[in-house]
Each structure stands twice: as C-alpha cells, then as structure tokens.
Structure 1
C-alpha cells in the first residue's frame, strides 16, 4: 500500500484545495504521473485502492478533492459553476507540472463519472498536451428517472436561484463489492448533495463535448459499465464514435455497475488501464498536426456545409429567410442591428457597440429589440471575453512590471481600441508606449478620438495596418513586449494566413514577451450566424470555420510562443490565452 502525502494547492480564484500525492517508488530519468479525478459525491481518499492496484511504481500519483468535496472547502456538492470546476482541473494539472517538475507529455489523466466529464471538457476546452486520457463511466447523461427533469430543474433555478438535490443512488447500485458498499455508507466525507447549478452545468457541458468530440485528439481509453444505473450508455457510445483521437479504444465491462474502478471485478478494468498507460509510454508521443485543418477535417466540412444553400422547400430555409427579413425591416429600429447591417456584424465597430451593452434604438420598440439583440448568447459570450482580455492584459503587465520591464503594448486589430484603453486605465502604471492598429479607416478615426479623449496622445498612437502583413508586423515600433490579437483569427479560416501573422508577431515580440490571443472553438448559433448575418467583407454571409483550441494553440506554438494561461466562458464559446515568446 502506497502512502499518501496530504497537500494543498491554490486554484485560479484563490481557493485552496486539498489533494493527495503518492510519490513514485522507482526513480525514472523523466518523472511520470497519473492524475486521478474522483466520481461525484466522493473524494480522493476513496482512490487509494486504485493507486495500489494499478501497480505503476514508477509513476507519481495525484488525486484531488474537488471543491465542495472531501477536505476541500465550499458548500458540499457546490461550485461557482461547472466551468469553474474545469478550470480547477487546469490549475491542478499546472500545479502538478510546476511543483513536481513533470512535463505534460508525461502525464496521464484518469477520470470517473463526473470526474470523467470534467477531464473530457478540460481536454476539449484547454487542449492540454498530456500523454493520454482514461474515462470510466463518464456521466455524459445522468439518469434522472423523472420526465423533463432537466428543464424542470432549470426553471426552478431561474425562479428561486441555486438549490441542492440529494442523490437517490444507494451504494448497492454503484458496486457489487460488499466492502465498498459499507465504506460508502459509513464515510463521513462522502457528499450526497449536488447543487442544481453544478448538475445543470454538467449536463450542458456534456452535451457540448459529446457533440464536438472530434475536437478531442488525445489518445483515449473509454470504459463503459454494462449495467450502469446512474448514467446513460448511448451518449458514451456516441462520444467514442465521434472522437477525433487517432488512438482510441473502448471496453464494455460486462455486468459492471457505475463505480467502474470500485466494482467487485475491477481487476478487469484496472488491468486494461495499466496496459493502456504502459503502451503509451513505450513509444514517444505520436505526432498529430492540425496545421492543415483548413483544407480537410470536420470543421472544414462544417464550414462548407454552412456555405451551401438549404433545399428550396426546407422549413429551416424559410425560418432563416424570415429572420433576415425581420432584421432588415423592423430590426433596423435597433441601433446594434443597424450598425451590423452597415459595417458587418463581425466588424470592430459592431463589437465596440456590443461591449458597451447599452440598448439604443428608435422608439421604445427599437430599444426592446436592441436589448434582445445584445442579450443573445453570442454577444454575452463576447462581453465575457472582454472581461477575460482585461484580466489577461493585467496579468501579463504585472509579470513584466515584476521583472522590471516597462510595458510596450500593441494591438494589431484593435477595432476602435476601447477594450485596450479600458485595460490600460486599470493598470497601476502607465505603459511606456501603446500602438493600436486596424484595417478600417473608420475604426482608426474612432480610436484616435478615444486616445485624445483619454489624454494618452503622449504615449499612444493609432495607425492603419494589415494584421496579416508579416513584414509590417515584424517592424512594429517601439518593439512591443505585449501584443494583443482579439477577435481576428476566428474570422479567417485559412491557417496559412494566421501563421503568417503569427510569424510577424514572433519577429516583433522580444524573447520573454507576451502574446494574448482569442479563439472560438465552439458556438451554439454558428448556423444562425452564417445564414442571417453579414460580415465586414463586402456584406458577404458571415460563415465561420471553427478553429479548435488544439489547432489554434499549435499555430501559436509553431510560431515560437508557449501558452501559459487560458480563460473560457461558462458556455465554452470564447477563449483568451496568454503565451510567452520563447
């Protein structure tokens, strides 16, 4: 039996979480690790037997108590959001890497039930470069046994706020192991409650991850329990079929209940996990490039499909046509829709209006339409992205300040530049220089007026510039040590174009300097946008190719930057990442 060391780490929001650490029993040239994520309601202490039975003596083992569970703080079974738990996962693995000097490609993650959904969502949203992923009975769809349970819970939450639900599942429906049944019933650290927001967030994230499973390309092993009373089997099968991983394997465990790794015959599951991990480490990590994803792949196929006209008698075609007609007639009473129709809904001018989030329009009906427009899920996500941009800029500026470097800031596609100047206003010290660029003369004029209004003309200038001109970017002066690229690369499908821009920035940014970039790996309204909204490029339809986070990070990495931090909204739509020039 390996001895656990009880430790703590500080997660992304300052909360201190508990974890157990089992040091490797054999020395290796390169440190290796397995990171375990427990089931819902449980804690890391109930994974001691997994650590022992895996028998991977040359691997360090780590397992946390998720917030609201075990020895970690927080209301039992609760979290600020499911997305906050996913970011806790990212913080934990980052802590393991930095504290124990273990590179991500020497880490395998094992998640069970809710822990498996957390791990899969993390793999999708944050694109970690770990060696592999094992999912045991992932809770992609919980069996709630009550008709319309999820819509009902969502309605109750909207009416009364967050509340807690006590699990109906008895230990005998989790495992056939008598000892595990007794320990579950008698363990004071087992949390039988779960908050409505975590349960609903789990369901929403799971739906998204199953639908977009091709974005996950890590080597992956899926273990399905045949007689699972807790989660549905069909979504697990669908996830595996769609999974983009070049190396993947699925095992159906006959007669198993939900606690796959705590079942009576768990040796069958443990042996498969051990064999999978050992295979992964017999050879170097497989090369898997997405640099050509704009030529072939599922996001390219999606883009081509969005560019095709729907059948003439299609109800969806009629619905989108009516939406376009409404926007071009009554919708013009809304100032936001009017700006979008004039300059393109993806233009810097349009985004600047969305950032301000003040409903305007002709007559009362125009303001009401504008409020509905500004409250659409996409624009809400864009405003969260703005908040994350402000945090990212503040974080990079703080790192530069602590290293004794004056901030030299540049934004190569700033729109009117409002969010950059807002970020600057919140810094404790003025930058040494600010260079803002945009391709639109309208935005350049608006940006210069903002610079003057904020009395920054002594350190800031706004100029016309092409964000894809490698030579022009390389010659940015003063030479920046922090560059921001927001809302740009998402609008252009061509990876060669994006790579050209990134090469220019790599030549411009000093070694040790920072690049902040945004992505859009998922959007629930991507077809609505493509069939009803126009872009800034000559009033063409706004058809986007989603670029997965793994693909975007590879482009940035290839140019000479290393990602060190990332933020994402609760819906999984927009990411903000900080990378460092290496």
Structure 2
C-alpha cells in the first residue's frame, strides 16, 4: 500500500488548499499523473481506495480540497468569486506540472461537482491536460423552475447566503458502509452558498454546449439511478459530442443500476475495469 503525503498550496490571495499525494516508490516507472477533483461537501481524503488502485497501476496520484472544503481554508460551501473553483484547479494543475509532473501525461479525474469543475476548466481552455475522466459529473443539477428562479435572484442580492445543500446520503451508494463512513466523516459538510449554487446551475449547460467542439480525450462514466445530479446532463453531453464519440475521442458508459458514487458502489469492479481499460489504451 502506498503512503500518502500531505501538503498545502497557497493561492495568490493567501488561501491554502490542502493537497494529498500518493507518490510511487523510487525506481518505479510512472505511466502518468492523475489529479483527482472531488465533489460538493466532501474532500480528497475520501478517494483513498481510488488512489491506491491507480497507484498499483503505476500512476502518480494527487488530490486536493476545494476552497471551503476539507482541510482547505475558506468558509464551508462558500464561493468568493464565480471562477474560484476553476481558477484554483488551473493553479493546482500548473503547480503540479512544475513540481512533480514534468514530462508525464496529466489526467484529470473529477467526480460530481469536481467533474463539472474539471470539464468547465477544459471547456474554457484554462488547463492543458492529456485526459479527462468524468464520474457522475454535475452537468445538470436537476433544479426545478422555482429553484432556478431563486438562484437567478439570490446571488445578486445575497451571494454569500448559505443553506443546506439538500443532499440525501442514502442516494450516494447501495453500500451501507460507504454511507455510514460519510455520516461519520467530520470533514464532510452540507453547506452551499447562493453563488456556488448559481455556478453549478450555470456551468453545466455551458460544458454541454462546448461538447460539440471537444478536443480532450475523455471518459464519461455516469449512474443511471443517480438522484443527486440529473444523469440527463451526461446524456446531453454525449449527444452533443456525438462526432467525438464516433471518433473515440470521447467514450461514454452508463451504469444503469448504480447510484451517484459509482466508484463506491457495491458493484464497483466494472467501473474500475472500464477506467483501467481506458487508461491502458492511452497511457502505456
């Protein structure tokens, strides 16, 4: 089992982002570097199993906590500026390339809100990466008309107003141990600000629109029984990227009976096998 190192990255405005690294042993040839981007309310420490599995395949792994999440600084669930999450990811990618990824292929792996942030950064050309893996990305937040109307108004008058994010933990996974661990985790929070909610609602459709001109090798994996994000967002992305799917630049797989956290499901092995196959085909 790989050891995990912890450090921090300080942003230009003095905030600190917590970083977790799973380095390879000396002398082991690295196939690439995977940067994990976590979801809303959680933190990078929940990706230990994924990091260990990638490590066994000779990938260097790094993960970080978003602003206002985990061990990073900032108000829980807040968003100081609309582009904060994308800006932070771009800084982490550049920092990672400078310090540990020189010459290595860099793959972003984003889950849920993290998948949205990673895809948005790619769509905006804010990051230069060699591959993108999207796990149940929040491309459609599944908001009804009333909530969309509220998010259209609130950020203008009370951008920092926070409320519960409404996440029902029972829809995370069929694995009850995953749910229990999530409930016990003191680094998990359930807050979301008006500005963060608006960002999630707005960025998803923009990513879907950009899919027609997608140029980054992408593996899209999503849950058919997702109740935390609307899987129709992934369907819409795949439809918009139909030409890239035909060219095998974009690969799409739906796990019809899975809940939101497909890599933490009871039947997670097919998901990991698909990830392994995709990585093996592209990063020898």
CA contact (8 A) 1:54 1:271 kept: no
Q: Shift in Å at residue 33 of structure 1?
A: 0.7
Residue of structure 2 in register with 1:162 after alignment: 160
Q: Shift in Å at residue 29 of structure 1?
A: 5.3
Matched residue SS, 2:36: strand
Residue of structure 1 in register with 2:148 after alignment: 150
Q: Shift in Å at residue 219 of structure 1?
A: 0.6
Q: 1:199 to 1:264 in 2, by over 3 A?
A: same
| 1:398-433 deviation per Cα after TM superposition (whole angstroms, max 9, x unaligned) | xxxxxxxxxxxxxxxxxxxxxxxxxxxxxxxxxxxx
| 1:315-346 deviation per Cα after TM superposition (whole angstroms, max 9, x unaligned) | xxxxxxxxxxxxxxxxxxxxxxxxxxxxxxxx
Q: CA separation in 2, counterparts of 1:93 and 1:205?
A: 20
CA contact (8 A) 2:34 2:106 kept: yes
CA contact (8 A) 1:108 1:277 kept: no
| 1:248-269 deviation per Cα after TM superposition (whole angstroms, max 9, x unaligned) | 2111112111112211212211
Residue of structure 2 in register with 1:249 after alignment: 251
| 1:330-387 deviation per Cα after TM superposition (whole angstroms, max 9, x unaligned) | xxxxxxxxxxxxxxxxxxxxxxxxxxxxxxxxxxxxxxxxxxxxxxxxxxxxxxxxxx
**Greater relative contact order (CA < 8 Å, ≥ 6 in sequence):** 2
Gaps in structure 1 of 5+ consecutive residues: 283-582
Residue of structure 2 in register with 1:292 after alignment: none
Q: Shift in Å at residue 35 of structure 1?
A: 0.6
CA contact (8 A) 1:175 1:262 kept: yes
**After TM superposition, what 4+ stretches of structure 1 lie above 6 angstroms from structure 2?**
none
Q: 1:118 to 1:161 in 2, by over 3 A?
A: closer
CA contact (8 A) 1:24 1:57 kept: no
Matched residue SS, 2:215: coil
- C-alpha RMSD over aligned residues: 1.9
Q: 1:160 to 1:131 in 2, by over 3 A?
A: closer
Q: 1:234 to 1:25 in 2, by over 3 A?
A: same
Residue of structure 2 in register with 1:271 after alignment: 273
Is residue 214 from structure 1 mapped to residue 197 from structure 2 by the alignment? no
- Which structure is larger by alpha-carbon Rg, 1 or 2? 1
* TM-score for both structures, normalised by structure 1: 0.46
Q: Shift in Å at residue 137 of structure 1?
A: 0.6
Q: CA separation in 2, counterparts of 1:182 and 1:29?
A: 37
Q: CA separation in 1, counterparts of 2:107 and 2:56?
A: 12
Residue of structure 2 in register with 1:185 after alignment: 183
Matched residue SS, 2:83: helix
Residue of structure 2 in register with 1:323 after alignment: none
Q: Shift in Å at residue 214 of structure 1?
A: 2.2
Q: Shift in Å at residue 213 of structure 1?
A: 1.3
Q: Shift in Å at residue 279 of structure 1?
A: 0.9
Q: Shift in Å at residue 121 of structure 1?
A: 0.6
Q: Shift in Å at residue 32 of structure 1?
A: 2.1
Residue of structure 2 in register with 1:566 after alignment: none
Q: CA separation in 2, counterparts of 1:44 and 1:29?
A: 25
Matched residue SS, 2:259: coil
| 1:42-74 deviation per Cα after TM superposition (whole angstroms, max 9, x unaligned) | 001100011123454421100001110000000
